[in-house]
Chains A and B, each alone.
Chain A
Amino acid sequence: MHAAKNPFVLHEKHAPFSRLRSVPVRKENMMQDEPKKTLLHGWHTAHGANMADFGRYNMPLWYPAGAKQEHLAVLTAAGMFDTSHMAAVLVSGPQSFELLQRCFTRDLNACSGRGKSALTPGNCTYGAFLDENGFVIDDAIVYQLADQSYMVIVNAGMGGPIARHLEAQAGEQAPRILDLSDRLGKFDLQGPRAAAILMRVLENPGKVLDSMRYFTFKGCMDPNARISDAVRMSDSAPVLISRTGYTGEFGFEIFLELEHFIQTWERVLEAGKDFGLLPCGLAARDSLRTGAVLPLSHQDIGRWPFINHPWEFALPFVSRGAGFSKAFIGDQALLNIRSPEYTHAFVGHDLRKVSAHDPAAVLDAGGKKIGEVLTCVTDMGIGRCEDHIYSIASPDKPENFQPKGLSCGFVKTAIRLSPGQTVTLKDNRRKIEVVIVENIRPDRTARMPIHQMMDAGR
């Protein structure tokens, strides 16, 4: 997410078909640019992963099963992602609530659940940290651990910048701000079988998972946490288990101390084998999140105002266009934009893509350029059948439906487009026609009642 153009570098160092370059690299630069490794790096390479640099970490793009099978596994069974390149920042002590309320786009007094109640311990919420211009510094999920105690999960490499931003905003009575980058293990278990798999590896799984709602969490990584709150793996490793994820599918993000990380990763993978659980890389993560209409920070949201996009639920609107329910950094800039731009999701008619980093332009019916392409990938789990889009997981999919894949992603345009409108995307190679939509991959499972998902494993 920090590689400004293409985070997957296929077009640079590893590019087949781009002319091989022999640019001498100075050694001191190499040392400086040496990518970081997560604790699972050795596991990834030993299991045949294709690796690439992402957010200054050397991460798996896909394993031998391939990005397509990994993507489909998350829709139909389950997939597991090493996400310990993401960073956690702990904010605790007096003024923690006030600091986050001023810096984060969600109103912590009115963001939790459908009824928009206050965030309470055990709940988490998605939003963004903005600067005074209303531009995105990074997006985040804020977990309330206890009264005046929060864990903020940001993107790879952003622990430091967000911690410094919070410190700068905190003033004299600063809460304790602790950047836990590279000090926490995290993996995501995503897909309809995720609960069934966890039931095999958690201590007291029924108690832990029972009635666990979307965007809630239980447990704590800290082995000294109060016993009544503890969630443990069956080998007693303490974990924080969160019913969230970045795929649009049912599942969990699991946080734990580094010392338990590799063994827990391996135990969960083993436990899920006969459910079809696959380790998954960043390529599947990117295509899954795009199909779920979730933004990639610094690509779909970034150095421009955080408004007029599919993620306005992350802003504290009283009602649409009627101002905000709280004051926060960037709020005035968002309400006083002179030349607005609009971010829209789109879906294509077949799987062919344009390359967003070419860059690719958005053209209106008259061929006039009206914007740019932010993301364009193929969701291999969906396809069209008589002008209706089905997913491989759609309960009402036609008999013998085999998804051929559809291109999809996000565009940013100078004019507001409407769902159903057709635009043309053009890169250096081709033009494709796509339709502006509110939703891409249908029948996603992220919000499914957990008891149904637990029953599936019994």
Chain B
Amino acid sequence: MKEIDDLTIPDLRFAQDHEWAKLEDGRVRVGISDYAQDQLGDVVYVELPQAGETFEQGAVFGTVESVKAVSELYMPVGGRILAVNEKLEGAPELVNTDPYGDGWMIVVEPADLRQLDALMNSAQYLAVLKG
């Protein structure tokens, strides 16, 4: 298990359920944090929605499956799915090896960008992890 100080926590927005959200030209890219992938262990399967589907903030948009457990993925911001990371179908381990990069999961067209501002910043997220 990584020590808190060994976790990578880049300057992104974070939801309570350990998804990260990154603003890119008015769109929001979403994945799960280094802490989340470390806790889950080997990710062996990621179930993602279809592009075009719409979800509310906090709604389940997919699941991430480790050898041991299946966990829900929650929308950090509501909106329409513009893209999903097709690479994860053949290489789900990217969630473990590069959670903030090639392990991204969806790109969302946000319904209300203010939802993004209401998420935690990296310092607040780190404080939550430290308990």
A contact residues vs B (CB 8 Å cutoff)? 6, 8, 10-11, 14-20, 45, 48-51, 61-62, 66-69, 71, 283-284, 286-287, 351-355, 377-378, 380, 405, 429-430
- Cα–Cα distance between A287 and B42 once the two chains are bound (Å): 13
* A61-B68 in contact (CB<8A): yes
Partner of A50, one of B16, B18, B41, B64: B41
* B72-A380 in contact (CB<8A): no
Chain A residues near B35: list those with CB within 8 A: 16
* A14-B68 in contact (CB<8A): no
* B67-A17 in contact (CB<8A): no
* B36-A68 in contact (CB<8A): no
Closest 4 CB pairs of A and B: A16-B36, A66-B42, A50-B1, A16-B18
* A353-B70 in contact (CB<8A): yes
- Cα–Cα distance between A380 and B41 once the two chains are bound (Å): 13
Q: Which of B17, B68, B69 has the most CB of A within 10 A?
A: B68
- At the interface, yes or no: B88 with Cβ under 8 Å from chain A? no
Known contacts A17-B17, A17-B74, A50-B1; is A10 also within 8 Å of B69 by CB?
yes
Please give 5 more A-B residue pairs, beta carbons under 8 A apart, in addition to A45-B1, A67-B41, A67-B68. Answer: A20-B128, A50-B38, A67-B67, A351-B45, A353-B65
Interface string of B30-56 (1 = CB under 8 A from A): 001101101111101101000000000
List residues 1-27 of chain B with CB under 8 A from any CB of chain A: 1-2, 16-18
Chain B residues near A11: list those with CB within 8 A: 69, 71
* B67-A8 in contact (CB<8A): no
Specify the main secondary structure of chain A where it touches its partner: loop
- At the interface, yes or no: B66 with Cβ under 8 Å from chain A? yes
* B66-A67 in contact (CB<8A): yes
- At the interface, yes or no: B116 with Cβ under 8 Å from chain A? no
Residue of A nearest to B72 (CB): A17
A-B contact pairs, 30 of them (CB 8 A): A6-B69, A10-B68, A11-B69, A14-B39, A16-B18, A16-B33, A17-B73, A18-B17, A18-B71, A19-B17, A20-B17, A45-B1, A49-B1, A50-B1, A50-B38, A50-B41, A62-B42, A66-B96, A68-B42, A68-B67, A71-B67, A287-B67, A351-B65, A355-B69, A355-B70, A377-B68, A380-B42, A380-B67, A405-B67, A429-B60
- At the interface, yes or no: B63 with Cβ under 8 Å from chain A? yes
* B71-A16 in contact (CB<8A): yes
Residue of B nearest to A65 (CB): B42
* A378-B1 in contact (CB<8A): no
Residue of A nearest to B3 (CB): A48
Chain A residues near B60: list those with CB within 8 A: 429
Chain B residues near A10: list those with CB within 8 A: 39-40, 68-69, 71
Q: How far is the CB of B114 from chain A (nearest CB, A)?
A: 21
Partner of A15, one of B67, B71, B73, B74: B71
Q: How far is the CB of B50 from chain A (nearest CB, A)?
A: 16
- Cα–Cα distance between A352 and B66 once the two chains are bound (Å): 10
* A429-B41 in contact (CB<8A): no
